[in-house]
Amino acid sequence: MPSFDIVSEVDPQEIDNAVNLTTKEVAQRYDFKGSDNEITFDKDAITILAADDYKLQAIIDILKGKLVRRNVSPKCLDPGKKEPASHGAVRQRLAIVQGIDKEKGKQIVKLIKDTKLKVQAQIMEDQVRVTGKKIDDLREVIDLLKGQDLGIELQFVNMRS
């Protein structure tokens, strides 16, 4: 029986590359000269320390641009709240969203069921598996989900016929 999986994954190496490129650009830009700005990346979050709110937003914009150039959707970033740091600086943590949580999974399953196509969708941990008798029905589901804005980037993998 044909099936495919719906996942939401990002390549941590590409995120690391984007962070490194952002760090280089911030170090070279004239408007950042003389201020302490720091970008750190661990496996599940990016932490930005900036001299003020303006510089923090500028760094986030630069980072999003670098992510897009590396084919990583900025939707994978979940910004936390801004926190004050020492000497008037501002810190913000951007969590890296991996996988599909239960609520998004239920939303995806509901969208698929509302199409009245002869396919079944089931949530399997952090992904959704869709099975059906016809590959054309599965392709319709993919096209439907590509047209929806669910707040996360979706990939369609493991297509089996």
Residue in 39, 3, 17 with CA at minimum distance from that of residue 130? 3
- pLDDT above 90 for 46: yes
- pLDDT above 90 for 64: yes
- pLDDT above 90 for 153: no
Beta strands in the chain (DSSP E): 3-7, 38-42, 45-50, 77-79, 83-84, 90-96, 119-124, 127-132, 155-160
Render pLDDT for 112-130 as a digit per residue (tens, 0 to 9): 998 888 999 899 888 999 9
- pLDDT above 90 for 101: no
Domains and CATH numbers, the chain: 3-8+100-160 (3.30.70.860), 12-96 (3.30.70.990)
| Mean pLDDT taken over the chain | 90
Mean pLDDT confidence for 48-61: 92
